[in-house]
Structure 1
């Protein structure tokens, strides 16, 4: 007899500490997506009529990602050496103050393109350090048997806020300007601190909290983490290489949405927010299904196929001018990105030892940080050619790489 699977989404919420880290992640991710929308449109406003406007708009996403190349590995070591809660609270406090200060700089008319880029760089330092640590705190808040469900339910905050942040930000921007977007971002960072304060970490490894911190030991810890990943988690290492496809070659499509909205769809910031929100909705649906019914087996194959379809969708967006189809493509793109990241994340959380967890997650963020290079190249090529040509090239490159993994990497394809 056919039995309807039990919905598991709320299982991890039975744990008090998990509720705190989930709420903190929700606020931090909402701030991130609100920030991405706001900074992109502020740059468009400041560079209106400039010949290199496209380069500067997409460069914002690159500036946010750039610190991950240098800070990401260091953040991984810090997250495995120091009290993870304290690090997250410290970083969120700095961002709250910075967002509030930027709001008044913009309000008083002193903002320029370099100020925006400086703020984006600071936000990138925060995100490349804080996100892997927050993800590791998920595993410290629940027993091992709940780990897969806890991670996928926590990932719900990413596409969910990708929908909510731009939606609210687009409305605020069109009605009141960007000043209140930045103030709302500051409030969200303060809420991260408030939610982390009462949280405990009963399931953290004993040697992962407040170990002796010596600068001289950072390089050794980094190398140790890389050796662990390369020798003992080889399939995860290969999947991290595959992650260049959706995260580096395809994801800049979202940075191009302000340009796509204005030049192709002939709409403003409010519709730009709705379009980015559709990406969040697609991801939210995918993650909800995973959190409700679990991530299926053959997770390696799922990663390959989601990367492949992300390339197909990127290529397709450059060929459409009808708004409903563009919303559908951007929404399905959210499904693919969230599917890849969730499948990869569940494997990382369940396979990696806690004392290596933040370093492993940081290696993944390190690879994602190469989006800064792809973003600047894409921005230059868009100025030199056209948006349609660049999207076609991005998608085709992703299709070729993903197909290579599909046909020639049996260890990834057969990973349970």
Structure 2
């Protein structure tokens, strides 16, 4: 029996995963630096407009609505490592262009809008391939642990990145922070090149055929449990995970503080996020669906309460708890979906997951920004948390009605359809079933 500590880092026994996660850590630090710097740049250029920040966030995530499913199909059809090298290069060039405009003083608000959208195109194609590629890097044995450690890498970066961004912005400006992200992509590109191709557990590429995109939708639609998990992801991504915007508004417009205070809050929240990811990595099996739903409801309540914080200190205290809860919820949802789908469909299903997680932001961010303009910077947090809870409640009701309707229908062709239960740890699976 492995000790809990060894289970937490079990996937690091795979040399390819060590290379992959190291390169990802550096790149993710750069990503968080840009996220902080981009929002602060928009606030500076727009005179503190909450709507401008919401529009920027919406434009960055808008491509996920259209291109997310296509990105999943590309991940199933083509070599994932080569696809990732293309998307990472695309995002590096986008960051380089925006950073250069900001450093030279040419940048205007509409420039940020354009490059947020261009950057979002790369993200929409990158996210499904990156999610599905983890299983090829580590294989089925360590997949659950690798998902947790991959989240840990992202959130270790979240712990480091905002603080670094605050220092760079305070000394050199937002443009240089964005350029730092452009350089950071080199680490991940080099890691991808350094992977041992013979050790990758490649999924057989999907042969080109008609209707493959529809197959992914049909597969998910036939699974009430996947529909529920995706509904949770949509609620969290649309109304709950707008922390770039809500934190910037609270710091600048509510507490009247500067860039360093904003960057510090990102790092403080990252402490809780990193702890949540490490706790998730200790899981020996995928979580149950009821845990996914329950934790998401809890997160919504916490977010709403954080909007009532009387001062900067209390707001800062609430963020690590929110960060931990959000990461436990997101990682649990990710684990549940990845470990319960057909490998041939994993890219397309994960694309739908990323689409609903990120694609709802173009709806939620402008709405919450509009509420901030009307009712002040606390409104996006309070309303966002309550809307998240309400949406999850609606998802549960609809899923139960759908399940009841399916039970009432006779099976097609007289063949009893398979019953999809929540994943249960039944020991190692044969390779053909993984």
| Superimposed CA distance per residue, residues 132-155 of structure 1 (whole angstroms, 9 cap, x where no aligned partner) | 211211100123121111111111
Instruction: Report the alpha carbon displacement of residue 298 of structure 1 after superposing the two structures with TM.
Output: 4.8
Q: Report the Cα distance in structure 1 between the residues aligned to 2:258 and 2:96, rounded to whole angstroms.
A: 25
Instruction: Report the alpha carbon displacement of residue 32 of structure 1 after superposing the two structures with TM.
Output: 2.4
Q: Report the Cα distance in structure 2 between the residues aligned to 1:179 and 1:404, rounded to whole angstroms.
A: 42
State the partner residue of 2:171: 175
- Give the SS at the match of 1:206: coil
Q: Report the Cα distance in structure 2 between the residues aligned to 1:131 and 1:13, rounded to whole angstroms.
A: 22
Instruction: Report the alpha carbon displacement of residue 264 of structure 1 after superposing the two structures with TM.
Output: 1.9
State the partner residue of 2:8: 9
State the partner residue of 2:318: 329
Of 389-398 and 124-133, the range deviating more from structure 2: 389-398
Q: Report the Cα distance in structure 2 between the residues aligned to 1:289 and 1:130, rounded to whole angstroms.
A: 26
Cα distance change on mapping 1:413 and 1:371 into 2, 3 Å: farther
Cα distance change on mapping 1:295 and 1:324 into 2, 3 Å: farther
Q: Report the Cα distance in structure 2 between the residues aligned to 1:373 and 1:19, rounded to whole angstroms.
A: 37
Residue from 216, 221, 227 that aligns with 1:230: 221
Instruction: Report the alpha carbon displacement of residue 381 of structure 1 after superposing the two structures with TM.
Output: 2.0
Within the alignment, does 1:137 sit opposite 2:126 as a pair?
A: no
State the partner residue of 2:39: 40
| Superimposed CA distance per residue, residues 237-296 of structure 1 (whole angstroms, 9 cap, x where no aligned partner) | 2110122222111112432211100122221111101112222211110111121x2166
| Superimposed CA distance per residue, residues 165-211 of structure 1 (whole angstroms, 9 cap, x where no aligned partner) | 11111111111112321221011112221110122262112235xx5
Cα RMSD of the aligned pairs, angstroms, is 2.3
Cα distance change on mapping 1:5 and 1:106 into 2, 3 Å: closer
Q: Which ranges in structure 2 are unaligned for 5 or more consecutive residues?
A: 404-419, 425-434
State the partner residue of 2:56: 60
State the partner residue of 2:410: none
1:275–1:327 Cα contact (<8 Å) kept: yes
State the partner residue of 1:205: 203
Instruction: Report the alpha carbon displacement of residue 19 of structure 1 after superposing the two structures with TM.
Output: 1.8
Alignment of 1:96-135 (within 5 A): 96-135=92-131
- Give the SS at the match of 1:267: coil
TM-score calculated relative to the size of structure 1: 0.90
| Superimposed CA distance per residue, residues 42-68 of structure 1 (whole angstroms, 9 cap, x where no aligned partner) | 01111116xxx1100122221111110
1:21–1:137 Cα contact (<8 Å) kept: no
State the partner residue of 1:95: 91
Q: Report the Cα distance in structure 2 between the residues aligned to 1:252 and 1:154, rounded to whole angstroms.
A: 21
2:76–2:347 Cα contact (<8 Å) kept: yes
Q: Which ranges in structure 1 are unaligned for 5 or more consecutive residues?
A: none
Q: Report the Cα distance in structure 1 between the residues aligned to 2:106 and 2:30, rounded to whole angstroms.
A: 23
Cα distance change on mapping 1:130 and 1:168 into 2, 3 Å: same
TM-score calculated relative to the size of structure 2: 0.86
Instruction: Report the alpha carbon displacement of residue 346 of structure 1 after superposing the two structures with TM.
Output: 1.1
State the partner residue of 1:344: 333
Q: Report the Cα distance in structure 2 between the residues aligned to 1:149 and 1:202, rounded to whole angstroms.
A: 17
1:76–1:358 Cα contact (<8 Å) kept: yes
Q: Report the Cα distance in structure 2 between the residues aligned to 1:187 and 1:297, rounded to whole angstroms.
A: 36
State the partner residue of 1:281: 271
State the partner residue of 1:307: 296
Within the alignment, does 1:160 sit opposite 2:156 as a pair?
A: yes
Q: Report the Cα distance in structure 2 between the residues aligned to 1:323 and 1:36, rounded to whole angstroms.
A: 21
Within the alignment, does 1:220 sit opposite 2:222 as a pair?
A: no
